[in-house]
Amino acid sequence: MTSTSPTSQETRTRILEAAVKVFATKGYHDTKVDDIVSESNTSKGSFYFYFPSKQDIFLALSDTFADLLESKITQAMEKEEHGVQQMDAALRTALGLFSQYRGLAKIALVQAVGLGAVFEEKRRALNNRLTALIQSRLERAAADGSIPPLQAEITARAWVGALNEVVIHWIYTGAPPLEESMPALKEFLLRSIGVGEESNK
């Protein structure tokens, strides 16, 4: 039986953090394992102990970001009672996380595009997880009368698409800051479900 010691976990974390920096700077294809090893100040032996290949660490980073996003959004929504307020909390949390973890967001949302079926599956899985999360809250909001009846899955996918477009543009350009995008994006999403801004105050 193997156990993960604090030192071992620190090494793995260092390698992951280094990979974020290198992938975000060089892109997937131009990144070499040696680059990650050098950035993390570890060894090739350490790298391959945790990650069998460059692909495996890239996929691990995508999973890390997806897990973080889902858990933080869920926590934020659970603090609110009503559907519209939950959507507001989800959007604010998502934009905050994308802003805080720009390197991870770039890996999960941008670099996975066009890298092949395995990577595309991870990108789609992230979108599907976000869609399911939003869909469940929209259905709940419609059921309690907070919003008009709607096709929750289609609406949730449209919301994820809008969010992705805003975030991906920001990843490429850095502008406008995601915090500044929040009011316009929020108004657009609320109007798409027949809710005026005043209903969320």
pLDDT tens per residue, range 172-195: 999 999 999 999 999 999 999 988
Q: What is the model's pLDDT at position 55?
A: 95
Average pLDDT over residues 4-23: 89
State pTM to two decimals: 0.87
Phi-psi region of 145 (alpha: psi -120 to 50; beta: other; left: phi over 0): left
pLDDT confidence bin for 75, thresholds 50/70/90: very high
Describe the crossing of helices 178-192 and 83-100 by its angle, rounded to 10 degrees.
150
Res. 197 pLDDT band, cuts 50 70 90: low
Distance, CA of 174 to CA of 165 (rounded, Å): 13
In the chain the domains, ranked by start, together with CATH numbers, are 1-52 (1.10.10.60), 58-200 (1.10.357.10)
Query: pLDDT tens digits, residue range 32-74?
Result: 999 999 999 999 999 999 999 999 999 999 999 999 999 999 9
